[in-house]
Structure 1
Amino acid sequence: MWLILLAIASYTLMVVALSRGPLSADSTLVVTLINLCGALIPLVFAGGSLWRGGLSGLALPGLAWGLAGGVGIAVFMLVMGRLAAKGWPAALVSPLVYGGAIVAVPVLGALLWSERLGPLQWAGLALIAAGALAVALGRAG
């Protein structure tokens, strides 16, 4: 459980930094610094794993997914930085983007990889989507 709490806290720190940094510095520079830290810190851990375990962790499909995820996070960070620089508040952008991703990932998992969710889980995803919609409509109104 502590790993979940650490992930929430660190991700929250990143979102706050991403939403506040571009208000007083170039958004591309802020995004670059966040991504640089986000790449170097895990690289230290990966290097230790390779040192201890050899090349067994270098399977091509996993590396391809890693590259795809890297492209995705790079585009995400650039777009989020631009939104922050344009004055879009984190209180609006975060629920829309993250709520959308929270719903999209299990739907893609079900469609592309036959992952299964129960009725209660689908209901939870519907509530998340409804919440994101309410945030968007609240902004429009």
Structure 2
Amino acid sequence: MASEIAAGLRRAAKEMHGIVVSAGLMDKTVKVRLGGQRWEQRVHKWFKAPRYKLVHDPANSLRQGDVVAITPSWRESQHVRHVVKHIIAPYGVGIDERPPIPSLEERASERMSKRNAKDEQRMLRRSAADAGVATSGTNKILEEAGRAVEPSAS
């Protein structure tokens, strides 16, 4: 886990600037347009060729039209591999009226706490399975440990 955070810190130096083109359609995810050009050999001319990235917005604080700085991070989902570093220029509502964007350390500590809770829950389930307790018994063990148990779909 610490190696993932160290790798994230190394990649954090690669900061890119872009404009939010889609916000509010996905939870904690926005689409950012990054600048780019391509050379067309036949006409000897540069053409605009923007790139689009899906970016993780941990606090849902971005709005369409914001100019933001993004950095590569750990993978949040299949297509989301970047995270918002900070807002350069807000569009519409001011930065003070929005939820703050968490720092890398805050995001890493939240990720580690979620991972530790998941590992602990897995360990409880495995110990219950080794003891030969059925799934209803596993739910009882988890309830006694203070974990919320979701009803099974079966």
Query: When the two structures are superposed, what TM-score results if normalisation uses the length of structure 2?
Result: 0.30
Larger Rg: 2
Q: Larger % of helix: which?
A: 1
Structure with bigger RCO (C-alpha 8 Å, 6+ apart):
1
Q: Larger % of strand: which?
A: 2
